[in-house]
């Protein structure tokens, strides 16, 4: 009696029919860059991604996520003189104003307010130095080995740096928080503001939200020493990517081109729909053979070398002798690359095409004329 659950252990196949479209690697103006799949943790493109660089206002990604995790969004924060008048981008805070943390976060991420960064840092960390300690603690926890923070806003400092890869790791972490996601995808935000009868309006400096419809975040940056820095995210279908460019002269186009390259790679069908996985020894009365095929494609970004390392493990969880129809789900196909489990797709039944007219008459002829096959003896 065969077991109801059959595990076909390490049925190894390198598919000859893999549908693979090679996307041309884009040229980028950035000195360092990375395109990173936030779900699979796969690097789709990199250029000196581990190099330590000045990062300017994309620092505020760290400031924002720490404030969201540690603060109370509706908590009013009293603005003091240390926050007012910080050089660079500002939301023009005034001493004595009481601004909710939520509003300061929008001012931080949409308008890149350095004054908002200091106000948040002092409220969350007790002081700017205390907050910087928390920033470096979080960086260590996340494995940002080429990063060190010296302030909450990103103004140039000798001991303030990160890398494209580290910023991709940080953004991947931050984007898991729904409040962070909501802030960085906003094009406009309005708040009641102390000392004025009209609402304070924050318009997002991140033009990529408009330039690239799939984009859903996150932050621009610029100082004379850092040059233009940019972190964006974009989502198409199941794929959510983050792109980081540091010291780029043409960052909007860099990001657009990198996303087009990445999403083209991600559309690769590592295993197509209808791929024949097993030929069984089961035939029906019409001489059709029972085959096991994939119900849907399995997409994963692979290159020429990786597709040769693709391995599969069919798991049949249904007694095949009882299958009578096509399209019955009979199990699933586990997919591996370099020993790492990537995911699975359902397996379904499929009966081969019925024998042709010539084949059927050939069988009738042989049945009656060939000894041992029935008919005349």
For the annotated catalytic residues, the residue numbers are 57, 60, 112
Establish whether 219 is an annotated binding residue.
yes
Angle between helices 114-125 and 128-142 (to 10 degrees): 90
**Region of residue 257 (phi > 0: left; psi between -120 and 50: alpha; otherwise: beta):** alpha
Per the annotation, where are the binding residues for substrate? 219
Per the annotation, where are the binding residues? 219
């Amino acid at each position: 009696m065969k077991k109801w659950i059959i595990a076909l252990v390490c049925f190894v196949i390198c598919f000859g029919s893999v549908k693979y479209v090679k996307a041309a690697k884009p040229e980028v103006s950035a000195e360092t860059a990375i395109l990173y799949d936030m779900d699979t943790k796969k690097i789709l493109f990199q250029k000196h991604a581990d190099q330590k660089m000045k990062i300017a206002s994309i620092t505020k990604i760290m400031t924002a996520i720490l404030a969201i995790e540690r603060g109370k969004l509706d908590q009013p924060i009293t603005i003091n003189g240390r926050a007012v008048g910080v050089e660079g981008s500002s939301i023009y805070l005034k001493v004595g104003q009481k601004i909710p943390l939520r509003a300061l976060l929008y001012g931080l991420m949409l308008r890149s307010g350095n004054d908002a960064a200091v106000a948040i840092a002092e409220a969350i960390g007790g002081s700017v130095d205390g907050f910087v300690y928390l920033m470096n603690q979080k960086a260590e926890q996340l494995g940002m080995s080429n990063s060190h923070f010296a302030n909450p806003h990103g103004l140039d400092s000798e001991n303030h740096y990160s890398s494209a890869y580290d910023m991709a790791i940080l953004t991947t972490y931050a984007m898991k928080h729904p409040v962070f996601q909501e802030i960085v995808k906003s094009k406009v935000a309005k708040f009641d503001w102390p000392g004025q009868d009209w609402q304070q309006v924050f318009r997002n400096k991140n033009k990529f939200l408009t330039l690239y419809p799939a984009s859903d975040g996150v932050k621009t940056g610029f100082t004379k020493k850092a040059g233009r820095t940019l972190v964006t995210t974009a989502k198409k279908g199941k794929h959510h990517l983050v792109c980081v460019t540091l010291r780029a002269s043409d960052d909007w186009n860099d990001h657009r081109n990198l996303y087009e390259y990445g999403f083209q790679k991600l559309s690769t069908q590592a295993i197509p729909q209808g791929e024949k996985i097993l030929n069984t020894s089961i035939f029906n009365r019409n001489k059709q053979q029972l085959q096991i095929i994939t119900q849907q494609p399995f997409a994963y970004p692979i290159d020429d070398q990786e597709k040769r390392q693709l391995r599969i493990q069919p798991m049949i969880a249904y007694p095949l002798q009882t299958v009578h129809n096509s399209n019955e789900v009979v199990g699933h196909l586990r997919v591996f690359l370099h020993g790492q489990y990537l995911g699975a797709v359902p397996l379904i039944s499929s009966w081969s095409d019925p024998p042709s007219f010539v084949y059927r008459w050939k069988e009738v002829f042989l049945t009656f004329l060939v000894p041992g096959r029935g008919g005349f003896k």
